[in-house]
Amino acid sequence: MTSDPVVQWAVTGVFIALSAHSLWRLVAARKPFVGLGYLFHLGMNLGMVVMVWPWWTRLPALPQLAFFVVAVAFFAAAAGWHAVDALSQGPATGRRRTSHHRDARAQAVHAVMMLAMVWAVAVMSRTHSVGAQHIGHGAGRAQLGTWATVAGAVLAAALVAGGALFLVYLARHLRERGSVLDRTGTDYLASALASFGTVAMCGLMLVG
């Protein structure tokens, strides 16, 4: 993805911290659905770490693609389920979502993150197959192809919007609770960082 050591170590630091958060929340999860979501995010965060290093090319792409495709389906299904649930409750109930696990928009953003990982793995493995060692070193935007470039730009735009949504949730949570250091607050913060971090990954690959 990049040969700049500053970028490599910065991405590694951010996503190792996010991996630690996902692992903590996975261990503490009381419901299988919630735990599975954190498991997918743990895989995503670790995947982001290895993608910025040249030895990513030694890893098989197919298991990664399968993992992230399943993750896309999981979060998309969750988004649909909670959207239908919210409609069935109706505005008269005034029920507030206590966490992003039951928020359809948040789950949709998670699905986009996983879809971005599918895109990244597919593009990087294709580039490597034609002789480039990694995206960002001898493989520019033109080599991505028109559809891959358009798809990456759309995903990046959606993730910017998703990151902004999580920042709004975080600000609201801070106003209501006075802290972001509880489980819900750290979830919002981690989700915002993951969204913007994934945007940075898409940007690196698009500009080459």
Percent of the chain beyond pLDDT 70? 86
The pLDDT of residue 20 is 98
Q: Is pLDDT of 17 > 70?
A: yes
Q: What does the DSSP assignment read for 178-193?
A: S-S-SHHHHHHHHHHH
Kindly give the interhelix angle for 32-51 and 5-28, rounded to the nearest 10 degrees. 170
The pLDDT of residue 91 is 59
Q: Is pLDDT of 151 > 90?
A: yes
- Choose among 184, 204, 193: nearest CA to 1: 204
Cα-only R_g, the chain: 17
Which pLDDT tens digit goes with each residue over 28-47?
A: 998 999 999 999 999 999 99
For the chain, what is the mean pLDDT? 88
What's the whole-number mean pLDDT along residues 147-153? 94
CB atoms under 10 Å from CB of 78, counted, come to 22
Domain ranges of the chain: 5-207
Asked whether the beta carbons of 37 and 74 are under 8 A apart, the reply is yes
The pLDDT of residue 89 is 75
- 98 pLDDT band, cuts 50/70/90, is low
Q: Which two tokens stand for residue 64?
A: 């990664």
The pLDDT of residue 153 is 96
